[in-house]
Amino acid sequence: MSLRVGIDVGGTFTDFALHDSASGSLRIGKVLTTPTDPSVGVLAGLDAMATAAGCQVADLAQAVHATTIATNTVIQRNGPEIALLTTEGFRDVLIIGRQKRWELYDNSIDKPTPLVPRHRTWEVPERLMFDGRVHKPLDEAAVRRVAREIRDAGVDMVAICFLHAYVNAAHERRAAEIIQAEVPGMTVTLSSEVSPIYREYERASTTTINAYVMPAVAAYVRRIEQGLESRGARRALYLMQSNGGIATPEIVTKFPVRIIESGPAAGVLTAARYREAAGTENLMSFDMGGTTAKICLIEGGRPALTGQFEVDMVHLKKNSGLPMTIPAIDLVEIGAGGGSIAAVQMGTIVVGPQSAGSVPGPICYGRGGARPTVTDADLVLGYLNPDYFLGGEMRLNVEAARRGIVAGVGAALGMDAVAAAWGIHEVVTSQMAQAARVVSVGRGKDPRHFALIPFGGAGPVHGARLARMLGCPRVVFPKDAGVESAIGLLMAEPSFDLARTLIVRLEAAALPAVNALYRELEAAGAAQLDACRVDGRHRLARSADMRFAGQGYEINVPLPGSTYGADDVARLRDAFFREYATAYGDRAFDRRDAVEVVHWRLTASVAIPPLSLAPLPAGDGSAKEAAKGTRPVYFPEAGGFTDCPVYDRYALRAGDTLAGPAVIEERESTVVVLPGSRARVDAAGNIVVDLDS
């Protein structure tokens, strides 16, 4: 029972990492995703992994899974009919949204379309004050009438979001009881449970998203659980949340909004462990799979977190998507992967966001794809070996890719296959560089001070070129980069982020209420950790969203964990001043001004042992034992196609060095080393490349 498996479902491939903690061995695998029902591919791939490892699925102690099912449900708008029940007079909260526009000077843009249209939004008389006092009692007769109307409208789910329910949940809970009594079997989700913090639009949006994705997530998780149980593995399943922590199926099916960014979070977690190889704690995680690319900054060895993010954004524009007030790893995701489709629009090459996915896939797969993709371009340029894709399991058709690129791109621009393929490669890499600048330069960070960590099936092909565009001095190509997100799942800890709104001045008189609030949060956090059935030390970390009195937005400030007394006021104020100075400068404020706290937060987690992997044997430094020969590979800085050395990554040893240009092949991905750079292999098997200036 020392076996654990990480399973990451992507748009094109589903990745597996099977780890034996007793021996330190790691077995990896990759199968094509089954888009109509990803659970089919998950279970088939799991069977294949167990057979190859000489074990049974029943031997698994833990299966940690990342899935895009919730995200896809929102983006594709294929969820159920849901209703929103809100306070009388607040029917249009979702429609009004915020005044902020994602294109300031474009009068024709539309606001994000809410998941609940106005005709499925009901109001009932009730009103709480900002401090939780009852201003108008809940009209229970009105709730009964509305419940029958909702039933007659054919609604499947109900989201309840009453004004100021984050302070006092009594009205929401009573309304849920009445609805379920009037309509037995109706599922109800409450804002006071999903998002108990203030700002009505964001709280209502989060609650409706939770209701919208609940049936799809519940059905999917149930299929995976039943598949595991039928194979003898019971209560082994855990799912990755957007905050980088794992949770049980019971918690996830109640709060599915927490797994909206499930898959990308796993990759960022594993990228954070390469700070020793990179020689810096400032890293840029770059995950490029078959459908999307995800980029995240890691400073001081810790990924950036955000308390609010958006789903279904337009062109990466803030305020263009649906907001969610749940903690998540702060990353940017764009439609740029190996399967992204290239075309010509208005005389220029465009790539993505549409993807060929696994069905029909890129042209070179020979599965019916007819539109050129990034993978087709990389194949024509010589970066990919047509005879060693997935270790030789898939034979790629170079000539079909060449013809498809000419037909889909080259003919319209008067280019041959190579020129058009290079155009596709450069355009998609430039798009990823733009996304990287959003999370770096756009936030006051200089990418020249960060090392790039590329992974995913396509990440190592484009990583060095992306790093050169950004000015990153070093690139670390992880071992088993093609399934790095699946490996990251094995490193995830049970973790839950809880928050409560209590708006108070940071003064001694407010601290008794704060201490009572934290007692409630810590009890709730401990209960959720206990439900995960994972051995380890519980950790409780506090923070608060604070601001100067009168400001409209807050910054998050880490807090000491203790019972607060009058003597702690100065210490808590100093913590705020430090964070504020880091964000805005030491001269941007007066330390005598009043400080206000809006949200009190708690992160509850379980410390688990680090992932232990067998070290790489030492070599003689020459890498000659790994040489596989040469092939023509396209490098514009070398004048075009050049006879490029090709290496077998599995034959490389610790201490081996090699000079670019070079191609290093492994089963799930290919590393491209650019001319003018040098690569070395570290003791863990990572390839560390120092780029030229």
Higher pLDDT, 559 or 25: 559
> Which residues does 107 contact at the CB level (< 8 Å), separation at least 6?
none
- The helix (H) or strand (E) run that includes residue 419 is helix 417-439
pLDDT value, residue 168: 94
Examine the pLDDT at 693 and tell me if it is beyond 60. no
CB 3 within 8 A of CB 19: yes
- Mean pLDDT within 206-218: 94
CB 353 within 8 A of CB 336: yes
> Which residues does 662 contact at the CB level (< 8 Å), separation at least 6?
644, 645, 646, 647, 672, 673, 679
CB 543 within 8 A of CB 243: no
Examine the pLDDT at 610 and tell me if it is beyond 90. no
Give the three-class secondary structure for 532: coil
pLDDT tens digits, one per residue of 8-24: 987 778 889 999 887 77
CB 462 within 8 A of CB 454: yes
Examine the pLDDT at 150 and tell me if it is beyond 80. yes
DSSP 287-346: EE-SS-EEEEEEETTEE-EES-EEES-STT-TTSSEEE-S-EE-EEEES-STTEEEEEET
Dihedral sign of CA atoms 302, 305, 311, 314 in order: negative
* Distance from C-alpha of 471 to C-alpha of 452, rounded to nearest angstrom: 10
Higher pLDDT, 442 or 650: 650
pLDDT value, residue 100: 79
Examine the pLDDT at 144 and tell me if it is beyond 80. yes
Higher pLDDT, 73 or 411: 411
Most confident of 357-366, 502-511, 526-535: 502-511
The letter for the amino acid at 117 is P
- CA–CA distances in Å: residue 319 to residues 191, 304, 324: 21, 20, 11
* Distance from C-alpha of 437 to C-alpha of 36, rounded to nearest angstrom: 35
Phi/psi at 337 (5° precision): -140, -175
Half-sphere exposure of 32 (CA within 13 A, CB side): 16
* Distance from C-alpha of 399 to C-alpha of 247, rounded to nearest angstrom: 47
* Distance from C-alpha of 342 to C-alpha of 537, rounded to nearest angstrom: 50
pLDDT value, residue 145: 96
Examine the pLDDT at 224 and tell me if it is beyond 50. yes
pLDDT tens digits, one per residue of 493-518: 888 989 999 999 999 999 999 999 99
**Token pair for 407:** 């037909």
- The helix (H) or strand (E) run that includes residue 212 is helix 200-230
Asked: is 495-607 a CATH 3.30.1240 domain? The reply is: no
Residue 156: pLDDT band by 50, 70, 90 thresholds? confident
* Distance from C-alpha of 272 to C-alpha of 301, rounded to nearest angstrom: 6
> Which residues does 578 contact at the CB level (< 8 Å), separation at least 6?
none
- Region of poorest pLDDT, from 2-11, 191-200, 491-500, 613-622: 613-622
pLDDT value, residue 136: 96
Examine the pLDDT at 660 and tell me if it is beyond 50. yes
pLDDT tens digits, one per residue of 85-122: 999 999 999 999 888 777 878 888 888 889 999 999 99
**Average pLDDT of the chain to the nearest whole number:** 90
Examine the pLDDT at 57 and tell me if it is beyond 50. yes
Examine the pLDDT at 611 and tell me if it is beyond 80. no
Report the percentage of the chain scoring pLDDT > 90: 57
Choose among 459, 290, 287, 456: nearest CA to 365: 290
pLDDT tens digits, one per residue of 388-424: 988 888 899 999 999 999 999 999 999 999 999 999 9
- Using only C-alpha atoms, the chain has a radius of gyration, in whole angstroms, of 26
Asked: is 3-74+217-258 a CATH 3.30.420.40 domain? The reply is: yes
CB 27 within 8 A of CB 59: no
pLDDT value, residue 315: 66
> Which residues does 393 contact at the CB level (< 8 Å), separation at least 6?
none
Cα(first)–Cα(last) distance of the chain, in Å?
A: 50
Examine the pLDDT at 368 and tell me if it is beyond 80. yes
pLDDT value, residue 316: 64
Phi/psi at 675 (5° precision): -55, 145
Choose among 273, 251, 236, 267: nearest CA to 604: 251
Give the three-class secondary structure for 169: coil
pLDDT tens digits, one per residue of 563-604: 999 999 999 999 999 988 887 877 777 788 899 999 999 999
Choose among 19, 17, 62: nearest CA to 534: 62
